[in-house]
């Protein structure tokens, strides 16, 4: 598979990059690590006329603490995140998620920005052009059919990014810049929930930073994904949990977010309703897991049956809640 022709843009400053995004709006795509956009271009699923690298924008590359928050430049690699002592101690689940992406050679290039802003996937669409030629165009390819759910009027492609669910559980925010304006939004608002167009980032916007506030008091986090191989596999289902405890030793905040459960990360609101105000026993954990296994919109468009993945969302939920509780008990922050 060969790359289609494109013009390569290499801005040296953020200002220049924002100008280029404005000038070539709609025709330009950003390339950070390139581990998603390049395969998509090779498969004919992305056809930008211009590819603009963020590789020379030094301001997008650092990870630092500023008072009570951690600022992660969008071009920070997943390897740097997985190995950062700051992330490994204060945001353990984020390090676990970063470490679970693909394999070391990919993580050396893959960035956190590119990971969060990856497209949704479907076993019937993320294939070569030759394979797709044999199928009627699906909703996402401009057609009117869904090969995963026969008769469906919408796209069932799934968001399978590993890092966004745990970032959402920590309440992380994203800084998006375009020529002349800036906005900061919760990571959860980057997603539309629509498989055909899953991201709410404008065509001329650049994600520059991810902001994580340091949680107060005692807290724990955990991330786990279902995969058959121990590396180079997108999550077939995933769960991310963040729990904090108050001075009375009971849960004061509980956020559970599912991955690979639909076109966007899925926040399980019942986790907070059930867990806050107590130190959960198996009974409460099982109750949350019941809700989690019904929360997603999973179709048969990945390398495991939807029914199995749904069941596993419940299992992963139990494991992540227990993992976060264990983190609270063992961590001396």
Ligand X SMILES: Cc1cc2nc3c(=O)[nH]c(=O)nc-3n(C[C@H](O)[C@H](O)[C@H](O)COP(=O)(O)OP(=O)(O)OC[C@H]3O[C@@H](n4cnc5c(N)ncnc54)[C@H](O)[C@@H]3O)c2cc1C
Nearest to 221 by CA among 239, 241, 246, 238: 241
10 Å Cβ neighbour count for 299?
22
Number of residues that bind ligand X (CB under 6 A): 31
In terms of CB distance, is 182 or 326 closer to ligand X? 182
Give whichever of 31 and 324 is closer to ligand X, judged by the CB atom.
Answer: 31
Cα 282 versus chain centre, distance: 29
Contact residue for ligand X among 72, 90, 117, 268 (CB under 6 A): 117
Minimum CB distance to ligand X smaller for 115 or for 120: 115
- Of 64-72, 104-112, 188-196, 305-313, the segment contacting ligand X by CB under 6 A is 104-112
Q: Is 113 in the site for ligand X (CB under 6 A)?
A: yes
Using CB under 6 A, pick the residue from 72, 74, 158, 240 that binds ligand X.
74
Residue 111 in the binding site for ligand X (CB under 6 A): yes
Tell me whether residue 220 or residue 235 sits nearer to ligand X (CB atom). Answer: 235
Closest CB to ligand X: residue number: 114
Q: Examine residue 14 and tell whether it contacts ligand X (CB under 6 A).
A: no
Instruction: Assess 162 for contact with ligand X (CB under 6 A).
Output: yes
CA distance 208 to 144: 36
**Choice from 84, 96, 118, 221 touching ligand X (CB under 6 A):** 118
Applying CB under 6 A, the span of 79-87, 98-106, 139-147, 287-295 interacting with ligand X comes to 98-106
Residues that bind ligand X (CB under 6 A): 29-37, 39, 54, 74, 78, 101-102, 106, 109-111, 113-115, 117-118, 161-162, 206-207, 232-234
């Amino acid at each position: 598979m060969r790359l289609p022709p494109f013009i390569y843009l290499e801005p040296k400053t953020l200002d220049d990059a924002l100008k280029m995004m404005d000038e070539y709006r709609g025709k330009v795509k950003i390339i950070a690590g390139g581990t998603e956009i390049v395969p998509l271009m090779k498969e004919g699923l992305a056809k930008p006329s211009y590819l603009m690298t963020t590789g020379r924008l030094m301001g997008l590359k650092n990870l630092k603490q500023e008072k009570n928050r951690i600022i992660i430049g969008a071009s920070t690699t997943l390897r740097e995140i997985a190995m950062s002592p700051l992330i490994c101690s204060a945001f353990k689940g984020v390090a676990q998620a970063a470490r679970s992406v693909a394999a070391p050679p990919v993580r050396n290039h893959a960035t956190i920005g590119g990971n969060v802003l990856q497209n949704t996937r479907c076993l019937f669409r993320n294939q070569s052009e030759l394979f797709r030629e044999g199928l009627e165009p699906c909703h996402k390819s401009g057609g009117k059919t869904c090969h995963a759910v026969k008769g469906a009027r919408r796209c069932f492609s799934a968001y399978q990014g590993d890092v966004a669910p745990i970032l959402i559980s920590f309440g992380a925010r994203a800084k998006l810049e375009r020529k002349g304006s800036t906005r900061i939004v919760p990571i959860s608002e980057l997603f539309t929930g629509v498989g055909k167009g899953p991201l709410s980032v404008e065509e001329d916007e650049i994600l520059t930073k991810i902001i994580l506030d340091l949680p107060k008091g005692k807290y724990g986090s955990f991330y786990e994904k279902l995969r058959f191989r121990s590396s180079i596999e997108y999550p077939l289902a995933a769960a991310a949990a963040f729990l904090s405890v108050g001075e009375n030793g009971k849960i004061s905040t509980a956020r559970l977010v599912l991955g690979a459960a639909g076109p966007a990360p899925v926040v399980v609101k019942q986790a907070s309703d059930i867990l806050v105000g107590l130190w959960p026993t198996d009974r409460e954990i099982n109750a949350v897991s019941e809700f989690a296994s019904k929360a997603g919109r999973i179709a048969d468009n990945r390398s495991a049956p939807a029914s199995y993945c749904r069941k596993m969302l419940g299992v992963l939920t139990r494991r992540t809640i227990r993992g976060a509780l264990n983190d609270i008990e063992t961590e001396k922050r």
